[in-house]
Amino acid sequence: MPFMRRFPALLLTALALTPCAAQADDTIVVTAERRAQALSTLPANAASLDAEDLATIGAQAPSEALNRIPGVAIHRGSGVESLPAIRSPVLTGGQGAGSFLILEDGVPIRAPGLANINELYETSLDFAERVEVTRGPGSALYGSNAVHGVVNMVTGADATALEAYAGSFGRFGGSIILSSRPSGSESRDPVRDEAEPARDPGSPLRGAGDGGAFAGLAFKNEDGWRDNAGLDEQHALVGVDTDLGPWSLAARLAFVNLEQETAGFVEGANAYRNEALSRRNANPEAYRNSKVLRGQASLSRAFGDWSLTVTPFARYVDTDLLQHFLPSKALEETGQTGGGVQTALYWDPSADFGLILGVDADRTRGSLKEVQSLPTQPAGYTQGLHYDYDVDATVLAAYAQASWAFAPQWRVVAGVRGEQSEYDYDNHAPNTDVGRFRRPADRSDTFETLTPKLGLIRTINDTSSVWLNLARGARAPQVTDLYSLQTLQRPGDQKAETIDSAELGWRAQLGGARVEVALYAMEKKNSAFRNADGFTVPFARTRHEGVELSGVAPLGDRFELRGWLTYAEHTYAFSDPVTRAGESIADGADIDSAPRRLANMQLTWRPTAALRAELGWTHVGDYLTNAAGTRRYPGHDVIDLRAAWAPTEAIEFNAAVRNLADIRYAERADFAFGNDRYFPGEGQAITVGVRAKR
């Protein structure tokens, strides 16, 4: 890979910087090894938001919280809709669904081949005690969809709590959590607790030794800033952490119900700048209804130097969506029922060596039916049935990962994962083309991937660390990539996507400040994307290179500055001599929906222990909105203000003003079907709330 030539000089530079550190970073993460691990032993990036961070944000959508993680820039659509980006352009369709692995308590919330681009709303963010994000391919413990990033919602509750809020545009909601955990059992911050061991061989994803159970219920209502764009959303979660003889149990049961009226794009050059136009909804008939049920039970037991964790899980998803973003406005009905098991066998004979072996399995039956009720539209969007099929998806994987401190202050982590994805497709529609839609005959497809990982980390007196991480990520195609075809595609042409990543990083504490710098370069093969006319461009190759700077620094006794800045170049690594809808792809050209400059910063003021205020800044640089490079969005800067007052330890009053300057901006901009299109950003919005706990 050409970019690999750049890394030796970067590595020497980072090594030279490490003696500057003055204090240790005691951060603990759980995602990389599915157990507690000191960040200082991890030769890769990892960022997290703890319970205090999440309470301060009071996110109205998961994207609002996750965008505080370096390198994350999720575009919010209408209601719960979102388009993900983690060290990547904003990705759509099967690319967006399949390039990011979304976990809850370490278990994928969707089957690998049946992911959904909007699935973040299915997570239990209301009951999360922290959120962890790995940018780029994950460790050997994760396979399909861990291409551009891994997001893990870690749930839990150590206190009975009540929250309620109300705000602009008919927004109100709340949550109640009942907990039987012993007081203080989980009151420590699990991310930064100095008492946590670097590696805890007998623990499951969460420590169950404290015992107890909790149950939570959350609801949300919005009338919507735009016309006919309301939503009602409910989340429920029950958790049990206990000991069963020599075994530790951490069990979760989650339920999600969503009823959303959806607002479509506003169209026309710079249409988002007109408030009256932005608030209109050209698709008042659009909606999304969804029900989700998930359950899992993690069982762990130690046997001397060995320990075993077995996590069976099951999931059910049923979603109806009117596709307002396409000329067809077709109704898509999808569902999946299935489950599987994750296993991890740990051997930790000493603090200098550890080995993890495991086998994972997932078996899911998915279905998709798409019907267009509108008369036939231009570009082949034909009235009637488009697709109707079921797919039995089976994913089997085995992995091994070893960690060895081969010299003082040096540790190497090496692993490999082999994965097989098999799809049995059963078509219920005629095997004929209809308009632009191609419906393959019944068939079976199998994909095999091998993803090696190699990491090297150097620590300096536990005060800072520098790491080099080489990793391959891979994913089998999504079911929709394989069977919701267009007439320009042929069944069986699709290949497994791969990404090769090289990352160099440095993290340290300098006095009272913490800082992390990460440089990355990635090359992706066998990807696909949709052009401005909605046709799939296959066999694409892309490059992704960037630098991320993040940290937190005290400014005197009362102020603190935290956040991140990133500069990245996402470019095509192939040339397409065929011009599709006026878009000819040139090697080296910028990919659309990929701003080079991003930033997310917060300045916090704490005049007393009971009072805090935060001024937040989100910067999105300009970016192309079509592959031909003829349309561009100029970017935006949005300021938010948050404040909280806690007169006692048991109660807190809070308020937030989002989009403080009431600017006109676009959450999402693109160019498709001959039009500039935007999801306009919400105008100035005020929210007030109260939290109580005991």
In this predicted structure, the answer to whether residue 190 has a pLDDT above a threshold of 70 is no
In a domain, 166, yes or no: yes
In this predicted structure, the answer to whether residue 205 has a pLDDT above a threshold of 50 is no
Residue the block writes with tokens 């109806």: 320
Task: Indicate the pLDDT class of residue 306, thresholds 50, 70 and 90.
Answer: very high
Q: What is the pLDDT of residue 15?
A: 40
**Cβ neighbours for 284, distance < 8 A, ≥ 6 positions apart:** 227, 228, 261
Region 520-543: what's the mean pLDDT?
Answer: 84
Q: What is the pLDDT of residue 39?
A: 78
Q: What is the pLDDT of residue 181?
A: 67
Lowest mean pLDDT among 206-220, 323-337, 413-427: 206-220
- Apex CA 565: angle with CA 563 and CA 567, to 5°? 165
Q: Which of 396, 373, 344 is nearest to 139 (CA)?
A: 344
Region 536-546: what's the mean pLDDT?
Answer: 88
The dihedral built from the CA positions of residue 526, 529, 535 and 540, taken in this order, carries a sign that is: negative
Q: What is the pLDDT of residue 8?
A: 47
Region 628-645: what's the mean pLDDT?
Answer: 95
In a domain, 332, yes or no: no
In a domain, 516, yes or no: yes
* More confidently predicted of 185 and 152: 152
In this predicted structure, the answer to whether residue 192 has a pLDDT above a threshold of 50 is no
In a domain, 222, yes or no: yes
Three-state secondary structure of 448-482: EEEEEEEEEEEEECCCEEEEEEEEEEEECCCHHHH
Question: DSSP characters for 31-100?
Answer: TTTTS-EEGGG-SS--EEEEHHHHHHH--SSHHHHHTTSTTB-PEE-STT-EE--BSS----HHHHHHSE
**Separation between Cα atoms, residue 440 and residue 262, nearest integer Å:** 31
Q: What is the pLDDT of residue 21?
A: 33
Pairing between β-strand 149-155 and β-strand 100-104 as defined by DSSP bridges:
parallel
**Cβ neighbours for 371, distance < 8 A, ≥ 6 positions apart:** 330, 331, 384, 385, 386
Please give the span between the terminal C-alpha atoms of the chain, in angstroms, as a whole number.
Answer: 56
Contact by Cβ (8 Å): 499, 147: yes
Q: What is the pLDDT of residue 199?
A: 43
Which amino acid, 520? Y
Query: Into how many domains does the chain fold?
Result: 1
**Separation between Cα atoms, residue 235 and residue 125, nearest integer Å:** 9
SS3 category, 13: helix
Lowest mean pLDDT among 198-207, 390-399, 456-465, 545-554: 198-207
Burial class (CB in 10 A: 0-12, 13-18, 19+), 526: middle
Total-model pTM = 0.92
In a domain, 334, yes or no: no
Contact by Cβ (8 Å): 206, 184: no
In this predicted structure, the answer to whether residue 186 has a pLDDT above a threshold of 80 is no
- pLDDT digit string, tens, across residues 373-383: 999 998 899 99
Residue the block writes with tokens 């006794």: 557
Cα distances from 282 to residues 169, 228, 257, 287, 438, in angstroms, run 19, 10, 25, 13, 29
CATH classification of the domain holding 680: 2.40.170.20
Which amino acid, 681? G
- Phi and psi torsions of 581, nearest 5°: 55, 40
Residue 548 tokens read as 């991320």
Q: Spell 615-651 as b/e; 16+ CB within 10 A means b.
A: ebebbbbebbbbbbbebbbebbebebebbbebeeeee
Residue 635 lies in domain: 2-324+343-387+402-693
Residue 549 tokens read as 């700077």
Residue 423 tokens read as 């799809």
Task: Indicate the pLDDT class of residue 578, thresholds 50, 70 and 90.
Answer: low
Q: What is the CA radius of gyration of the chain?
A: 24
Burial class (CB in 10 A: 0-12, 13-18, 19+), 41: buried
Residue the block writes with tokens 């690999």: 4
Q: What is the pLDDT of residue 479?
A: 95
- pLDDT digit string, tens, across residues 75-91: 999 999 999 999 999 99
SS3 category, 398: strand
Distance of CA 507 to the CA centre of its chain: 23
The H or E element containing residue 623 is strand 623-624
In this predicted structure, the answer to whether residue 579 has a pLDDT above a threshold of 80 is no
- pLDDT digit string, tens, across residues 10-28: 444 444 433 333 334 567 8
Q: Which of 230, 165, 239, 235 is nearest to 204 (CA)?
A: 239
In a domain, 352, yes or no: yes
Q: What is the pLDDT of residue 582?
A: 55
Q: What is the pLDDT of residue 182?
A: 57
